Amino acid sequence: MEKVIEIKHLAKSFDKLEVLKDINFSVSKGEVVSVIGSSGSGKSTMLRCINLLEMPDSGEIFVNGKNILDGNINQHRKEVGMVFQSFNLFNNMSVIENCMIAQIKVLKRSKEEAIKIAHENLKKVGMDAFADKPSTQLSGGQKQRVAIARALCMDCQVLLFDEPTSALDPVTVQEVLDVMKKLADEGMTMVVVTHEMAFARDVSSRVVFMEKGIIVEEGEPKQLFTSPKSEALQRFLGRFVNQ
């Protein structure tokens, strides 16, 4: 299988706090990898390192076989889409402008082409009817779907989701998860940091469990959820069962 992301011996610390210790992990084309673990376990930091929003202290990250620390950082970033917990739609633009700006300024597409691609992707996430609304007037779930469309417009090879549903209420969580499931079915390569165990179990092809900056366990969702080997994962999953 062609490897889209490959991380070797990644380490990162903030001042004296070691957040990531020797992370080794790879994602193949078409895979949907869910990263679970309690808060502070380093999941988000690892994800942000892949997009170089955080600078790794040591180790290597390859995307499509290229070391991301070589060459142009913007070139790399446009190949890796990112969806944030707090949506981060551009507040000074409408929904469709959010999807167009980088197409025009980074990919140098013509305005007509950018509009066409933006509409296509907005349709995909079910937000095309809102194309001309100011992005500040949308609900959380709608914002997140637009954020996904914005990332898709860049024709990225892989999408990173940083707790995409953590800021949403239980009902709107579903509309975002449905979009993500649809993308997964279409064969999009995705890495999802999530607290939605149902999503991790049902949609992802592989689950990675992190604890205190290391990958403790990884494997098929069914096997991981039904018979966790490590004590840490048992404890972590126990909390969800008890709810």
Taking the least distance from each CB to other proteins, the nearer of 42 and 81 is: 81
The footprint of other proteins (CB under 8 A) covers 51-55, 69, 73-75, 77-78, 80-82, 84, 86-94, 96-97, 100-102, 105-106, 111, 115, 119, 128-129, 131-132, 134-137, 147, 150-151, 154
H or E stretch covering 173:
helix 170-185
- Going 177 to 182 to 62 to 200, the CA torsion angle's sign is positive
Q: Which residue has the tokens 């917990």?
A: 85
The nearest distance, CB 40 to other proteins, in angstroms, is 19
The nearest distance, CB 137 to other proteins, in angstroms, is 8
The nearest distance, CB 234 to other proteins, in angstroms, is 35
Tokens representing 116? 């066409």
Taking the least distance from each CB to other proteins, the nearer of 6 and 54 is: 54
The nearest distance, CB 212 to other proteins, in angstroms, is 24
Taking the least distance from each CB to other proteins, the nearer of 41 and 94 is: 94
Question: Reduced to 3 DSSP states, what percent helix, strand and coil does the chain have, rounded to the nearest 5?
Answer: 40, 25, 35
The DSSP secondary-structure symbol of 66 reads E
Burial of residue 15, with CB atoms counted within 10 A of its CB: 0-12 exposed, 13-18 middle, 19 or more buried: exposed
- If DSSP codes are grouped into helix, strand and coil, which group holds residue 73? helix
The nearest distance, CB 121 to other proteins, in angstroms, is 13
The nearest distance, CB 146 to other proteins, in angstroms, is 11
Q: Write out the DSSP string of 80-148.
A: EEEE-TT----TTSBHHHHHHHHHHHTS---HHHHHHHHHHHHHHTT-GGGTTSBGGGS-HHHHHHHHH
- If DSSP codes are grouped into helix, strand and coil, which group holds residue 242? helix
